[in-house]
Amino acid sequence: MIIKLCPQRRDDTLAVIRAGETLMLNGEAFDLSAVGEGDTLPRSAVSCEWFAGDVERTDGELVVTLILPNPWNYSQEQAFPVDLISVPDGEVVFPKPVAPLDGVPGEEEPVSFPERTGVIDWTQLVTKAMKESAIQAAQLAQAKADLAARNSKAMTQIARIQDRIDTIGFGIDIGEATAGDEAEQAALLVTLKAWKAYKFALGKVTAQPTWYQAPVWPIEPPIPEIIAAPLLSEAEAI
C-alpha cells in the first residue's frame, strides 16, 4: 500500500491503522479490497473527511491519499510530506511536529476511538474495464467523425468536378467548346476517377483489422482548380 499525504493546518488528529487492505481512520474501518487492478474509487464515494483523493490500485498496490493534519508547531516534514511506500500492517507512522520552544513535550497519551465501519458507495467504483470501454467508445466516435468528414469532402469534390465535366460536354454538344475546353475535360476526367477511387477506398476503411483504433486512411487526391466554377469555401477545402 502507498499512502500519499495532503497537509492541512488543523488542530484535530488522525490515527491510522492498516490491516491488510483495510484502513482504520480514527476507529472507522474502510475495507478497500474491492478496488481491483486499474480501478478507481472516486473520493466522493468514501464518506470520510480524511480521504483527500481517489483510491486506485496500480501494479497491485493500493494508492490512497489522506489528509495530514498539521498542528501549530508543524515541522518541515509535515508541511512537505513524502509518500509512505510499502506501508506495513499496524499503526501508520506520520511525520512528527517540532518541539515547542518551552521544552520537549512528553509522550502523548494515545487517543482511543470507538470502532465502526466506514461507508463506501461502491456503485461509484470505476473499473479498469469501464475505463477501457470509455476509451474505445471515444476512439470509435472520433474515427466515425473523421470518416464522415472525409466522405463528405469526397462527395463535394466529385459533384464539383462532375458538374464542370458536364458543362464542357454541353459546349461540345453544341459545337462551341474550344480545344482548351476539351483538354480541361480530359484532365478532369482523370481527376474525377481518382476521387471516385478515393471515395470507394473510404468505404473499405471500416473493414480494416485496425479499425477504429488506428485506421489507415487512403491518400486524398489533389483538389483541381476550376476557374469557371465557384471557388471552394475555406471550410470545404479542409
Residue 7, strand partner residues: 68
Number of other CB atoms surrounding residue 50 within 10 Å: 22
- How would you classify the pairing of strands 61-70 and 55-58? antiparallel
CA dist 18 and 29 (Å) reads: 9
Per-residue pLDDT tens over the stretch 90-144: 999 999 999 765 554 544 555 667 788 999 999 999 999 999 999 999 999 999 9
Cell 508541511 sits on residue: 79
Q: 153-177, pLDDT tens digit by residue?
A: 999 999 999 999 999 999 999 999 9
Within a 10 A sphere around the Cβ of 197, how many other Cβ atoms?
Answer: 13
Average pLDDT value over all residues in the chain: 91
